[in-house]
Structure formats: C-alpha cells, structure tokens
C-alpha cells in the first residue's frame, strides 16, 4: 500500500456500543511516537473507535501501532496497520493512438489516490493533499481543453483542490527528451499564453533537483486589477527519451516547493 495516510480502528463490543466514548489515540512506528491526537467523541451507538495518521509525503515502510486511551488516560485497546511501498503504474496502461475527437487520449489517468507514475520514466507525481484527479469527461477538463484536440490527446492528468482553487495538469510531449530545444520553446510558448490584458505580470525561474537531473520551473505571477494574485508554474520533467510538461497554479500564495517535493524518483 503506497499511501500518505494510515487508518486504523478498534471495535467496541456488547454494552460498550451503547456508550458515548471520549478518547484519544497515539500513533507509533517501531516504538517511535509519531502523533498524539486530540480527544475525540464517538456518540452512541459507537461500534468502533477510529484513528487516522497522515503525512505530507509517502509514509515510510513499517508497522504503525495505534493505541487508544480514554480522555482520562485509561488504556482501551490497540490496533495496527502495515505500510509497504509498491511500484505504481498508470491504469489503464497508455498506448499511442490518435482519436482526434476532442476526448482525452490513452495517456490519461485519474487515480483516486492522486499517485501518478509517468510512463517510461522513474518519476512519480504524488499530488499534494487535498488535490483530486478529475475524470477525463469532467466538464472542467473538456471546458478547458476540449477545443484543442492534440492537447486533449496528450493529457496525462488534470487535478484540482476544491477548497483553495489550486490545480495542476500534465501533458505528454512529442519531443525525444527534456533537453530538446523545441521542448524548451514549447514550454515558453505555453507560459506566454498566461499574460491576459489588464494584468501585471512578473516572470521568474527556479531550479529543482529531481534525483540525477535538474528541473527548471518557470513561474508567472499575475496581478489582476483588483489586486488578486495568481501563480502559474511550468516545468519540463522526464528523462533522455521522454518529456512531459507539468503545470500547476495557485491563488494568493505560490506553493511551488510543496508541489515539487511531491515528485519522487524511484
């Protein structure tokens, strides 16, 4: 199970299900205390006491032990969950094709857990917490890209965070590598489109190290007439024989570090 969250529970039995439980729990991994929750109330009928532990990155392998206590520190019980990392592959496995009908192509995936392995690379994108992948027939996806059949054909994923309005998408690019000059030109062309009239635009670039390669993120800060700020970030990622364009955007504050830290190298 490749996860950013371990969830466990401890069942209540008999008359205990008719009680209201006030409890907290402690999460440990190999006797290291990772987390102590606040007191939680479970109203009757209460059939189980639930616990959840999450991290901003993939959890380390191990046996995560959850110990339950009353709000007066009386031991109630214990449960555990094993976390192991496995190879993540896109589903369905992409195969080149050309539909030309304005629908997403065979590269498109929408995993429920937000973990996307980029085909033919050792890169995995584990989307930030709160960001969810949209299905290919979502009105947001078709409304954004439906008129561009080539872009729809090459889309890999499209994700949004419904709480803060941020989003991200990835495109499989028809260039032999991330070092191809035409790929860099395509990135700049994409970035140039994000300069609407009536706005103030500031461009910058930042380098990030992904395993054995260096990735440059082009950032466009757009300030609208009403003072609101949107950040648009573009990056080429991949290896010697495949190239992807990654785009993510936020409003108010740029979370570029948080997003780039979600890209891992196997």
DSSP codes, 171-239? EEESSS-TT-HHHHHHHHHHHHT---TT-EEEEEEEEEEETTEEEEEEEEEEE-TTS-EEEEEEEEEEE
Q: Which of 29, 64, 83 is the last residue of a domain?
A: 83
CB 1 within 8 A of CB 58: no
Q: Is residue 102 part of a domain?
A: no
Name the band, by pLDDT with cuts 50, 70 and 90, for residue 93. very low
pTM: 0.60
Q: Structural domain tally of the chain?
A: 2
Reading the block at residue 195, the tokens are: 């300069």
Do you know the residue count of the chain?
266
Q: Are residues 37 and 164 in the same domain?
A: no
How many C-beta atoms surround the C-beta of residue 251 within 10 A? 14
Q: Is residue 48 part of a domain?
A: yes
Q: Which of 83, 107, 129 is the last residue of a domain?
A: 83
Q: Are residues 154 and 60 in the same domain?
A: no
CB 231 within 8 A of CB 221: yes
Closest CA to 118 of 146, 94, 84, 101: 94
Range of the domain at 48: 5-83
Q: Are residues 135 and 225 in the same domain?
A: yes
At residue 44, does pLDDT exceed 50?
Answer: yes
| CA 256/CA 47 separation, integer angstroms | 42
What percent of the chain has a predicted confidence (pLDDT) above 70? 81
- 117-175 pLDDT, tens digit per residue, is 888 888 999 998 888 898 888 888 888 877 788 888 889 999 988 777 888 999 998 88
| CA 172/CA 101 separation, integer angstroms | 18
Instruction: Residue 33: give its domain's CATH number.
Output: 2.60.40
- 213-262 pLDDT, tens digit per residue, is 888 888 888 888 888 888 889 898 887 788 899 999 888 788 788 888 88
Q: Is residue 110 part of a domain?
A: no
Specify the pLDDT at position 175. 81
Q: Is residue 53 part of a domain?
A: yes
Half-sphere exposure of 180 (CA within 13 A, CB side): 20
Q: Are residues 74 and 140 in the same domain?
A: no
Query: CA angle 161-164-165, nearest 5°?
Result: 65
Q: Is residue 72 part of a domain?
A: yes
């Amino acid at each position: 199970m490749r996860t950013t969250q371990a969830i466990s529970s401890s069942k209540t039995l008999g008359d205990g299900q008719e009680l209201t439980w006030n409890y907290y729990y402690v999460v440990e991994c190999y006797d290291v205390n990772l987390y102590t929750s606040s007191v939680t109330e479970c109203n009757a009928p209460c059939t189980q006491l639930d616990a959840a532990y999450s991290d901003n990155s993939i959890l380390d392998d191990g046996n995560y032990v959850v110990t339950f206590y009353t709000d007066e520190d009386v031991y109630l019980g214990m449960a555990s969950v094993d976390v192991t990392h496995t190879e993540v592959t896109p589903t369905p496995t992409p195969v080149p094709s050309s539909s030309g009908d304005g629908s997403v192509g065979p590269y498109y995936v929408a995993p429920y857990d937000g973990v996307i392995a980029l085909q033919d690379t050792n890169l995995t994108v584990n989307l930030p917490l709160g960001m969810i992948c949209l299905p290919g027939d979502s009105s947001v996806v078709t409304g954004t890209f439906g008129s561009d059949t080539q872009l729809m054909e090459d889309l890999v994923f499209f994700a949004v965070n419904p709480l803060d309005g941020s989003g991200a998408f990835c495109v499989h690019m028809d260039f032999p590598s991330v070092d191809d000059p035409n790929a860099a030109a395509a990135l700049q062309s994409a970035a140039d489109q994000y300069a609407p009239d009536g706005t103030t635009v500031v461009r910058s670039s930042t380098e990030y190290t992904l395993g054995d390669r260096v990735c440059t993120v082009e950032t466009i800060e757009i300030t609208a007439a009403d003072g609101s700020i949107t950040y648009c970030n573009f990056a080429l990622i991949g290896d010697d024989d495949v190239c992807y364009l990654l785009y993510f955007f936020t409003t108010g504050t740029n979370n570029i570090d948080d997003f780039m830290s979600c890209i891992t190298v196997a």
